Amino acid sequence: MLYLDHAATTPVRPEVRDAMLPYLGERFGNPSSHHTVGEAAAAALADARARVAALLGMRAGDVVFTSGGTEANNLAVKGIAIAAALRSGRPAHVVTTPIEHESVLASCAYLERVHGFAVTRVPVDGHGRVDPDEVAGALRDDTALLTVGYANNEIGTVQDVAGLAAVATGGRVPLHLDAVQAAGSLPLAGTGADALSIAGHKIGAPPGIGVLAVRGRIPLEPLLHGGGQERERRSGTENVAGAVGFAVALEAAERERAADAARVGALTTAFIARVLDLVPQARLTGDPVRRLPGTASFTFEGTSGEAVLLELERRGVVSSSGSACAAGSDEPSHVLLALGIPPQVAQTAVRFTFGHAAAPGDLAAPLADAVAASVATVRSGR
């Protein structure tokens, strides 16, 4: 079975598992406990925090460990925006795009519905890119946050982060980058962002651990209240094993990033070219150039995306129709609709995402052949 759904989740790296095991056994302490067992756990947590911060070009105190990317995005969007509103004494304004992950879009909708915020969703072009000049035009005196995905999880389009950072700096607006899909493929340090969200299970750590790195000068209202852990920004007993594993996974992802991007990018490029050559009416979605090296998303007009996925699995290929968070929904992807793709075409989408463990480049031809055969079978109704 060939697994091509790394955008949904990745296998746990062996070195991550090995690093975590002691903290699931004999080193089980609560890092808030003031005895030798707890202090050993606290030391491991502090070490993991410092290692993550170094990779992100931030200070150790900027790193907040969370339960994953969804919580990190919620904490960034709600926490930064609500803190700004509390300082000003009135609801504020948030700028985003319509192709963000559901955790960002739902958080923005919550701010509108519950707290009376104004939210501007700047349109994207047909490739999923947002124009920094249009973002600049959307900023207001009361804008509390600009939140944009570094790279889109469905179509792989990479945004002009430098341009967005320049716009945010010029308008003195905090910039949050949802880097969940970018981690392991794109540089994380030096982006100009004030806050970054990362999920461990996208880079070889297990589900249940993530990071929001937010610069100390940015006020952040906590969403979880209790014992005041994570410098009072995220209460709850810390997941020491997860934090240790996250640090090891991020170090490995950064160490291998350039080589993996070149290898996986070449494989994906060859695969895309062959699919477009073999499959009538196949359309690549997202930016054809500025895209994640391991993402290839197509629409196959005249089919059902779910039916194509079933045919592919019969041929030993596991992929997806888009975001795992929307799996099982009958609604077409909000990302594809924002690109101007008609709903009936959007429902034919299939996404292939290669990871650090992807097979060598000679896989491109047989994989594309399997896609062509699967699409042909669905179109024929056999």
Task: Give catalytic residues, as residue numbers.
Answer: 325
Give the per-residue SS3 of 60-82.
Answer: HHHEEEECCHHHHHHHHHHHHHH
β-sheet bridge partners, residue 301: none
β-sheet bridge partners, residue 121: 96
Using the 8-state DSSP alphabet, how is residue 143 labeled? E
How many angstroms separate the CA atoms of 184 and 257, rounded? Answer: 6
Give the per-residue SS3 of 254-286.
Answer: HHHHHHHHHHHHHHHHHHHHHHHHHCCCEEECC
- Dihedral sign from CA coordinates of 4, 6, 12, 13: positive
* CB 264, CB 293: distance < 8 Å: yes
The residues, ordered by sequence, that sit 6+ positions from 304 with a Cβ below 8 Å of its Cβ are: 347, 348, 378
First CA to last CA across the chain, in angstroms?
23
Reference 198, options 43, 53, 35; nearest CA is 53
Alpha carbon 108 to chain centroid, angstroms: 17
